[in-house]
Structure formats: C-alpha cells, structure tokens
Amino acid sequence: MKKILIAYDGGDAARRALDLAADLAHRFDATVGVVSVIPVHAGRVPVDPWDDRDVHTTELAEAAKLLRAQGLEPVMHEPAGDPAATIEKIAEEGSYDMVVVGSRGLGLLSRALQGSVSEHVATHSKTTVVVAR
C-alpha cells in the first residue's frame, strides 16, 4: 500500500478517519491525499453545512495542518460533485490503494433521507475502503 485517500469534512468521524489514515501511512510508508467534496445537488438548495467552498478550503487547511504535525505532506483535492461518486472517482483516477472514510453513525431514517457517503463508498468503490468508527 503506497497511497491512501482520506475523505474529510471536518467532523468528528472525519478526524477519526484522518488519525487512522495517518497511522496507516506511517506503518506502510505511504503517501496521503485528502478529499473534501463540495456537494452539488441538482434541483435542490444545498442543506449540508459544508456546501460552501470557503468552509471546504478551511477544513482542508485544518486536515493539512494535522497531517503535517504528524510528519506527512498530503495532496489536497477539493472537487465539486456528488460526494460519494466523486470520492470513488478520485480514488480510482489517482491510483489510491485505500480510501479511509469516517462513519457518522446515522440511523436508518437519516440514511434513507440523507444518504450515507461512507456506506456508498464502501459498497461501490473499486478501491479498498476502511470505515473509521
């Protein structure tokens, strides 16, 4: 394993994913990338608090700072699109060996209404996916 992609949105689950990925990167001498996808929801007003590009940029800067403090120099990705599909695309196109995502622990109703990015990535990605809990 040489390349690990971290899906990051600044939340607690994303921080757990970042810490786990940093540990794995050290163990396997791997490089890390961090992706924060600006959601694009065709036909509806965005309701996700991370929809604003400035917020994504700030969260990515935070992730970079946390990883640099652990001796890692990340590659940052800030695309727009469907979060799950975009994470999967970046993982594949970037030849990442693993994607690490956090799980917010959504209940059945929340997953049905909002969807679960981590669940979608874990079940659809062509890359190995680790879900940090």
Annotate 85-108 with b (16+ C-beta within 10 A) or e (fewer).
ebbbbbbeeeebbbbbbbbbebee
Q: Does 118 score more than 70 pLDDT?
A: yes
Domains in the chain: ranges and CATH: 3-132 (3.40.50.620)
Cα–Cα distance between 31 and 33 in angstroms, integer? 7
pTM of the model: 0.85
Average pLDDT, the chain: 85
For 26-78, the pLDDT digits (tens) are 999 999 999 998 887 665 555 454 467 788 889 899 999 999 999 999 999 99
Q: What is the pLDDT of residue 113?
A: 36
